[in-house]
Structure 1
């Protein structure tokens, strides 16, 4: 069972975040044996599929280069052109096979770990340049496993090669009695089939190596219970961080609330424990909106700001408590309080008219405003 540096057993499966972080670092399952087998199989198939056309083009290339006229030999310009044409012919003959091998070299790694480009894995690691670390890796269990795999590959390739040579002995001997063109085509076919059979032998090694690499990659990502808990805290947010964020949010909300108080039409108080600031915009329609509310010290600050900006302070304990508990900041008051608030706003309008000298002093506002029982909050 794997252990962490703290001595705790790594018994928990890796989380999605752990897998993503490992992938970003390039730490995914890879199998060199699978890559080798895929390239060998595709290369052998390419020789069998394109070997005939490659042989014909190469034979034509040899004919053209061995049947040069004397005039061409003495002309430097014609020799350079012939060299260019020969290179083009050789490249064209090999392009199908090279293209197939390139695709195989890409598909091999992608088939196991998927496509990945991790720039971090390309950065130099000075720990790998340490001779002592290199010596430690050479005598590690992983190095022993690689040595055993290499020995197994050698034995398998040797056995397959001996079997193939014994099977194709007559074909190999018959090449000596064939024409040059047939001998070249026949040789490419024998090389293709021999490579294919050796690749099939290495397929056994790959079939064992792939599950081992997947298991080893999963084992490296295992986590302790404490690591899982720490990651969960990081994802959800540590309590002290969340508390600090909530505190900052409250402070920002309070600053916005205090800044909105000068726009209020009236501040209704308890008179000391609660204070709520209301505004009604007839142009926008809708119901009156709550701009600010607070209790105790916050209520005192609301009253102070309202007094500084000459906003009417109105004592109505029952209505102040009802609005405080039923309405949030920047929300409209509930429908049940429309009538009570309408009487308050009408009184505020009459006071403004009186102070402007355009009306008589209004009668004091009634103490028992119409507040529904379900919205009442006793002191």
Structure 2
């Protein structure tokens, strides 16, 4: 692990997920189901008990009169009183099932991996099984179990100790009152333990998540290899990018003869503008460059008798603020119009351009 210093990439996490390897805490699932069951026992399950009690009462009343037909009596009585207990039974079981499904989906999502269901011969290897039994992971799980046992035992003792006199005096109450009092204490103890168990389960899930991401860490070589697989060889990408830039420069240079004027700085920057009053709303940058590229733009402009005007501030401003094949912004209209007027005067077409 000392060499695995890089965080796992999304691709590595997806591959681990396809193999069924996800961060999951069985403790969290058990804690949520336990807490949901206790909540339901205080609500729907209590109504279920009341409904079953009514059914038993009715059965006891009818029993002396129908002793020979006991089986049919129980069936008919159960069906006739089903409305008293069946909905609450469905709500109780459905609530526990929904809690179990929800907490598992929250941890793993909709995950299906056939690789986990396959037969693995190495699991039958007694040597590997012995190693797993005495591995660091097994010792850590044992330590966690002992800590949980101690904490839960401590909470149980702290809850029961002040209530010992009440428990010892239950035989002095009637059966219904004693049972009710015992159930109240039992539910209180169960809730205390369930809440503690939930806190421990959340901590366990945090640890499982950290350990899961730690186990997926990558070496620098693995990271480079994955980047090479997903994005291609860096050298090949560099060559493709260079080829694309060369094509773009070739297309740009092919547009220079169509320019109306080339504005320069005078040796470092060159910007070629095209303007057709009849078809364009504003002058457009069709080529631009610095240093050697600027010299090349000027050479093509001279060869094709395109006017070259030296205006360093305007050339730098257009180069920095206007992208290729974009119209100049309104704030540059006046400055560019003066340059175009100068060019039109040189070409003897100023009056024609103004009239148009």
TM-score (norm 2): 0.56
Partner residue of 2:55?
61
Partner residue of 2:277?
282
Partner residue of 1:314?
305
1:39-118 mapped onto 2 (5 Å cutoff): 39-49=33-43, 52-65=46-59, 67=62, 84-95=79-90, 97-98=92-93, 101-102=96-97, 104-105=99-100, 115-118=106-109
Structure 1 residue 199, shift from structure 2 partner:
5.7
Structure-2 change in CA distance of 1:286 and 1:92 (3 Å): closer
Could you give the per-residue CA deviations for residues 44-73 of structure 1, whole angstroms, max 9, x where no partner exists?
344345565333211222344563887xx7
1:198-217 mapped onto 2 (5 Å cutoff): 198=190, 200-201=192-193, 207-208=199-200, 210-217=202-209
User: Which structure has greater helix proportion?
Assistant: 2
Secondary structure, aligned partner of 2:286: strand
1:124 aligns with 2:124: no
Unaligned runs of 5+ in 1: 305-312, 354-379
Structure-2 change in CA distance of 1:35 and 1:80 (3 Å): same
Structure-2 change in CA distance of 1:192 and 1:198 (3 Å): same
Mapped contact 1:277–1:292 kept (Cα < 8 A): yes
Mapped contact 2:27–2:204 kept (Cα < 8 A): no
Partner residue of 2:213?
221
CA distance in 2 between counterparts of 1:316 and 1:213 reads: 73
Backbone CA RMSD of aligned residues? 5.9
Structure 1 residue 189, shift from structure 2 partner:
6.8
Structure-2 change in CA distance of 1:28 and 1:295 (3 Å): same
Structure-2 change in CA distance of 1:98 and 1:189 (3 Å): farther
Structure-2 change in CA distance of 1:285 and 1:169 (3 Å): same
Could you give the per-residue CA deviations for residues 25-46 of structure 1, whole angstroms, max 9, x where no partner exists?
4877644334434433443344
Structure 1 residue 126, shift from structure 2 partner:
5.4
CA distance in 1 between counterparts of 2:325 and 2:198 reads: 67
TM-score (norm 1): 0.54
CA distance in 2 between counterparts of 1:61 and 1:23 reads: 55
Secondary structure, aligned partner of 1:125: helix
Mapped contact 1:40–1:195 kept (Cα < 8 A): no
Secondary structure, aligned partner of 1:314: coil
Unaligned runs of 5+ in 2: none
1:32 aligns with 2:35: no
Mapped contact 1:57–1:90 kept (Cα < 8 A): yes
Mapped contact 2:285–2:326 kept (Cα < 8 A): yes
Equivalenced residues, count: 314
CA distance in 1 between counterparts of 2:25 and 2:189 reads: 20
Could you give the per-residue CA deviations for residues 264-317 of structure 1, whole angstroms, max 9, x where no partner exists?
3657699xx99975432324676533323555667777889xxxxxxxx32655
Structure 1 residue 123, shift from structure 2 partner:
0.8
Mapped contact 2:309–2:339 kept (Cα < 8 A): no
Structure possessing the higher radius of gyration over alpha carbons: 1
